[in-house]
Amino acid sequence: MDTQALCNGFRQPSEGPGDGRQNKMGIFAKPDLDIDWQEYSNCLGVDPDLFFPERGASTREAKDVCRACVVRTDCLEFALQNGEKFGIWGGMSERERRRIRRQRALERATAAAQAG
Ligand code: SF4
């Protein structure tokens, strides 16, 4: 598998140096997170830079690629669980993912308050 062809592409363990869980953007995947879904990414072969646009640049093209992706939910959940602060993952920007994280934190706090 050509790892450079993956959009947010983490190397498979057998490829490249290290433990194979760092992608070309220097992002590490937590060891307990599944990255196999990447094999089915709609962004295979798409320039990774498209998913890490400059501040203020359009995210439309990347989101168009994500819209038809069968692993969109896996990708988004990976980004949320891995604490990805940058880039388009699962068709969502940093700001959109922050909103989800805040919402989940609020739900956890509410559930804990109700349980306690
Ligand atoms: S949702 Fe987007 S960034 Fe994630 S794997 Fe699919 S095409 Fe790539």
pLDDT in tens, 58-116: 999 999 999 999 999 999 999 998 888 889 999 999 999 999 999 999 999 999 999 98
Q: What is the DSSP string of the chain?
A: --GGGSSS-BPPTTSSSTTS-BBTTSPBPPTTS--GGGGG-TTTTS-GGGGSPPTTS--HHHHHHHHT-TTHHHHHHHHHHTT--SS-BTTB-HHHHHHHHHHHHHHHHHHHHHH-
- CB distance 59 to ligand 1 below 6 Å: no
- Identify the domain containing residue 44 by its residue range: 3-115
- CB distance 8 to ligand 1 below 6 Å: yes
- CB distance 50 to ligand 1 below 6 Å: no
Looking at per-residue pLDDT, the higher value among 5 and 64 belongs to: 64
pLDDT at 49: 85
Tally of domains within the chain: 1
Best residue among 3, 27, 42 to mutate for probing ligand 1, ranked by most atoms within 8 Å of CB = 42
Looking at per-residue pLDDT, the higher value among 65 and 48 belongs to: 65
